[in-house]
Chains A and B, each alone.
Chain A
Amino acid sequence: MPEAPTTILLMERAGRMFGQRRAVADICLRADAGEAICVVGSNGAGKSTLLALAAGILAPDEGTVTICGERLDRSRQVRRHIGYMGDAPLVYDALSARENLLFYGRLYGLRHGSQRTDELLRQFDLHDRSDDPAGALSSGMRRRLDLARAIMHRPRLLLLDEPMNSLDPHGRQLIETLSAELCRTGSALVWTTHQPPQPSPMTGRVITITDGRLDGNLDAARANCRSDPEQ
């Protein structure tokens, strides 16, 4: 009997309100190891909130978020499995590309941060500009730097919010190749876009979000988010 895939992300009926406005509700989502999920939705549909809940940046008002079997609200350490890239680069303009990566490496307690930094700077074609302040890089380069930051600690769950924004074809190719590589090595990828995704290795399963709710039959979605098939 084949071994069941490891569940990396499990969101069970997660919801979040901002004041009187419900941003997302009843989110049931499961991402297994090696799986890529693309969440498609228009502006304001709740894509960024969904990713922020999965990243632990926002706490859900209802429901739960579990990463690699641990509830996100019960353990801070489980966050080391998460790599999050927001819709804008989360890098410090006053620090160089190298310093940004080293900083995040230290934040995640990496032992060989310097080595990993060099590796990523080369991988993302940033080694020539590694000592320039991040604020002096082009928007595409900042985006690549941000992705390098998000995967600095080799996360098992990579969350990318509109990752293709501001990227040239080379940058897109880089993200697609890298995402496919991450999935191949057992990580899970959840990414958002407001445009229908083109077929690519990172597209994977496509889910639509509308008005804060994932589309599709709710019962089927709930069944899909059970971590144990026997339940």
Chain B
Amino acid sequence: MRAFAAIFIKDILIEMRLRQVAPTMLVLAVVLVAVFGFFLEPAGREQAGQLSLAVIWLAVTFAALLAAERAFAAERESRTLSALLAAPMAPAVLLIAKCAFVLLLLIAVQALVAPLTLVFFRQTLAGPPHWLLLAALLGDVALALVATASAAMVAEARTRGPLLSVIALPLLVPVLLVVTQLFAELGAYGFSPRAAALTGVLAMFDVAFFAAAALLFPHIMEP
């Protein structure tokens, strides 16, 4: 727990000092929302609701890729990964700390992008708030896990940006399909049996991604 907190706080401190990721993520997300908001003209209220959900999650997905790509930047640039690998902690602790950092940034981006999108598409937040929050959190965790583990794989590659997208995006498609459907379901019918099933599927994605990432991470990280 101490090692996790040390890495997590260190990453926040470095980001607060260098501001390498958060501003870029926010600008990208806002531009995406603005472009879609100005140029898409939904046929009706229902379509506008679906489009707004798609735009929110698209913006968050691209923000996640940006954040994850920079998640190992401090270690790559200062070559400190060796010192972390030599420390008496399980490699999964490093993964979880990096993932938590990406998740924090994602939540910040989502907190800005979601209301902005609703304004652009003239929508109101529909559905039970605590279930919507849970769905958003489960979706963000899946995005952060996949993006961070993929970023670890390509951390030493020269073309890590394109590689990251190629590895992470196919894995994220099912997550995005489920989370947008879940939001639509919660908005239309509240916490229905279908919403419960979709929440379960999303939670299973999180567990599966975490298990796979934790198993692969020690092999990925060895220089």
Q: Which listed residue (B6, B13, B14, B223) contacts A107, Cβ 8 A?
A: B6
CB–CB A56/B80 < 8 A: no
Chain B interface bracket (under 10, 10 to 19, 20 to 34, 35 or more): 20 to 34
Given contacts A92-B10, A94-B18, A94-B74, A108 and B87 within 8 Å (CB-CB): yes
Size of A's binding interface in residues, CB under 8 A: 30
Q: How far, in whole Å, are A200 and B144 apart by their CA atoms in the complex?
A: 51
Seed contacts A52-B82, A79-B86, A88-B79; 17 additional CB < 8 Å A-B pairs: A57-B85, A57-B222, A84-B82, A86-B79, A86-B83, A90-B78, A91-B78, A93-B77, A94-B17, A94-B74, A99-B10, A104-B83, A107-B3, A107-B84, A108-B88, A109-B2, A149-B83
Q: Is A122 interfacial (CB-CB < 8 Å)?
A: no
Q: Which of A54-81 contact B (CB under 8 A)?
A: 55-59, 76-80
CB–CB A57/B14 < 8 A: no
Q: Is A184 interfacial (CB-CB < 8 Å)?
A: no
Interface 1/0 per residue, B65-81 and A, CB below 8 Å:
00000000010011110
Q: Is B89 interfacial (CB-CB < 8 Å)?
A: yes
Q: Is A174 interfacial (CB-CB < 8 Å)?
A: no
Q: Is A27 interfacial (CB-CB < 8 Å)?
A: no
Q: How far, in whole Å, are A223 and B130 apart by their CA atoms in the complex?
A: 67
Q: How far, in whole Å, are A103 and B80 apart by their CA atoms in the complex?
A: 12
Q: How far, in whole Å, are A43 and B84 apart by their CA atoms in the complex?
A: 25
- Closest CB in chain B relative to A215 CB, distance in Å: 26
- Closest CB in chain B relative to A41 CB, distance in Å: 19
B residues near A91, Cβ cutoff 8 Å: 78, 80
CB–CB A106/B2 < 8 A: yes
Nearest B residue (CB) for A79: B88
Q: How far, in whole Å, are A44 and B209 apart by their CA atoms in the complex?
A: 39
Given contacts A90-B79, A91-B78, A57 and B10 within 8 Å (CB-CB): no
Q: Is A95 interfacial (CB-CB < 8 Å)?
A: yes
Q: Which of B185-204 contact A (CB under 8 A)?
A: none
B residues near A86, Cβ cutoff 8 Å: 79, 82-83
Interface 1/0 per residue, A93-130 and B, CB below 8 Å:
11100010001101111000000000000000000000
CB–CB A93/B90 < 8 A: no
CB–CB B78/A107 < 8 A: no
CB–CB B6/A103 < 8 A: yes
CB–CB A92/B78 < 8 A: yes
Nearest A residue (CB) for B7: A107
A residues near B82, Cβ cutoff 8 Å: 52, 55, 57, 84, 86, 90
B residues near A148, Cβ cutoff 8 Å: none
CB–CB A95/B90 < 8 A: no
Most buried by A among B83, B84, B88, B223: B83
Q: Which of B51-104 contact A (CB under 8 A)?
A: 74, 77-80, 82-90
Lowest 10 CB-CB distances: which A-B pairs, in order? Answer: A106-B6, A90-B83, A79-B88, A80-B88, A94-B14, A84-B86, A55-B86, A90-B80, A107-B87, A57-B85
Q: Is B5 interfacial (CB-CB < 8 Å)?
A: yes
Q: Which listed residue (A52, A76, A95, A99) contacts B89, Cβ 8 A?
A: A76
A residues near B222, Cβ cutoff 8 Å: 57-59
Most buried by A among B6, B14, B88: B88
Q: How far, in whole Å, are A82 and B223 apart by their CA atoms in the complex?
A: 18
- Closest CB in chain B relative to A102 CB, distance in Å: 9
Q: How far, in whole Å, are A166 and B85 apart by their CA atoms in the complex?
A: 24
Q: How far, in whole Å, are A55 and B18 apart by their CA atoms in the complex?
A: 31
Nearest B residue (CB) for A83: B86
A residues near B3, Cβ cutoff 8 Å: 106-107, 109
Q: Which of A13-58 contact B (CB under 8 A)?
A: 52, 55-58
A–B complex contacts, Cβ < 8 Å, 9 sampled:
A57-B82, A57-B222, A76-B88, A86-B82, A89-B78, A93-B77, A103-B10, A107-B84, A109-B3
